[in-house]
Chains A and B, each alone.
Chain A
Amino acid sequence: MHRELAIALRARVTWLVAALAALLVGHGFVLAVDLFSSASRSALAGSLQPREMDPLVGVVRPTLGVVDLALVLLGPIVAARVVSVEKERGSFGALCLQVGSTTTVLLRKLLAAACATSLLVLPAAACLVAYRLAGGHVDPIETAVATLGEILHLGVVVAVSIAAAAWTSTFAQAAAVAVVFSLTSWMIDAGEGFAALAWLGRAEAWSVERHVAVFQRGVIGLGPIAWLLVATAAAIALAIVGARIDLLIRRRAVVALSISVIAIALLAAVGQVRRAYDWTEERRASLPPAVVAALRAVPAPIAVEVDLDRDDSRRRQLESDVLAKLLLTRPDADVAFPLDARGDTAAGAHDGGYGRIVIRVGDALRETRSTSRKELVTLVLEAAGASSPDWTMPPYPGFPAVVEGTSRRVVALAAYGFFPLAFLGTGLVVSRRRTGR
């Protein structure tokens, strides 16, 4: 492993990319802290409810969001290089012969690439520590869950980059292929919130970012974990096949096609797994405990049909709040958006039924146009013949934090200066060519 780690960690480009990622993450972090501080000022002045001041949403998620960006755009440069330079230098084949197996070589390279790429995640951790030191609140468990999502994302990026490197001849080709893969995921996400892109809705299940986003809510989803692991495993399998330089390209292509078909089937299957666990502080991603107990006690299947377009803010509110919480409680609930299936979205908008939310519990049917969490859940329970439970939530106090003055300057200095320069400095020392004289 020393040889592979040296190629990954003693390369200047690795540390340069890490410094760039630190700058990007630092910028996102400082913007998030400033916005959160501004909102916190209002909360402390009484204009906003302090309990709405959620650092997971206000600081952790935006910071990790930039890590996603860095992983997608810069991760392949670090990860693919570990294999690609061997190919460009003409030493890959001799190395495989020396080690005895292309698979062993590739797996070692994968580990080394994962170590190097994890440098892109470190600045976020450092920023959150800085926020904590500046007086902000960071819950370790929900932050660890959000970070788990980034680690799984890193696994996918590294595996795809290694696969791209295994199938191509040069570093440029490999990095381009890996970035294009990630951008495809972004393209799918671009459909969110646009009725005109409703046709992309069916592809949502294939977006890497969509699966990672679950963790950023402090929720551990078994489906997303399985999906990201299967995607990583599939990319590793493709990499192993791609690296088999002793096989004819036609044979490798047939095996790769078989792996792809199996992977697609597995991804589709695990994508259906909705079981998830709320690890947020005070379980605030869930409905109140009594409501959860009441909903789980409903024996009949629950179905919700929402007649709202993708670009309707009410729908986005429903999806991020009550529907997410309902699915967390009842993963078996069926949620449908019939307008997504229609090509003519304008006709849907003019339909008299637009805005209707139909709730089916067994044979009972209820209908509403309200997007209120309480109203919808009450209708579900009413249709099930259950009484309305206690809606008291465990008290989440909220954590407004105003980072200003010296603290703000120190945080900004760390984010824009210290962390990137620390990476650059470390890189200069580590990558220094030793002349031995």
Chain B
Amino acid sequence: MTTAQPKPRLTNAAREALTCYLFLLPWGIGFLAFVIGPVVASFVLGFMDYEIVTPARWVGLANYIELFTDDARFGMSMGNTLYYVLVFVPFHVIIATLLALLLNQKARGIAVYRTLFYVPSIVPIVAGAILWVWILQPEWGLINSTLRIVGIEGPLWLASLTWSKPALILMALWGSGAAMIIVLAGLQGVPQHLYEAAEIDGANRWQRFQHVTIPMLSPTLFFILVLSVIASFQVFTTAYVMTGGGPAESTLFYMLYLYRRAFVLLDMGYAASMAWILFVAVLALTLIQFKLASRWVYYEVEQS
């Protein structure tokens, strides 16, 4: 197949546009078939009182009004989530990058190391969760035992109102191996000649990292940043498995609360309105990130 039998009348720009749409078509079919309907449906549900076992009732903005005026858990779960996002995302990006740099070298047994670093991201959550209980156990767990050696009495972790969120963040960071792979792939795109040129110009290691690696890696880092934000706003599984939102709702994240509303309390309409508030918040943040991207992300192709 060559692209869509271009008619001679078409200008180059029109031809390119048409080609572009054709490239997007397979995805577009999937989007129209499987995404847009459920998305619209969930949007409509946000304006309904729909408890699944009873008929849905149109209630206008009632769900949204209740969320903002009469639901302390809405603000609290959003606060817990923001805490998680603000702490997790920077660490995640930095750790993934450092791991990738560490593993992007020719060392003995590097293949084994790469595999081992990746392991936590594929261990089934039920298997990983038990181990984390052992690691975080305050009395003789790995972390507090280690801290005790240097004379620090560690916190209660999952039993503490202040340390339960950091404990879950720690657990999530341990799965940074997945993002590490993306950075590792990104590092391959850095042209060798740039390093050579920099070296000839007398740049030291840090300068080369700062002026060659970072700019060339920036599209990848941008991707990880955007995705980490989107994903960590939807943090769910670790809290669901490890704490069930406790102690005293200190790890009740937004999605956990949403899940509770949808499948425990059967408040599907309310859950849908919660989903759309999350959507608007994350979309706004993402748009800001795209706006700011032009300041630090380097692309080969000009962005319109």
**Chain B binds chain A:** no
Chain B contact residues, CB within 8 Å of chain A: none
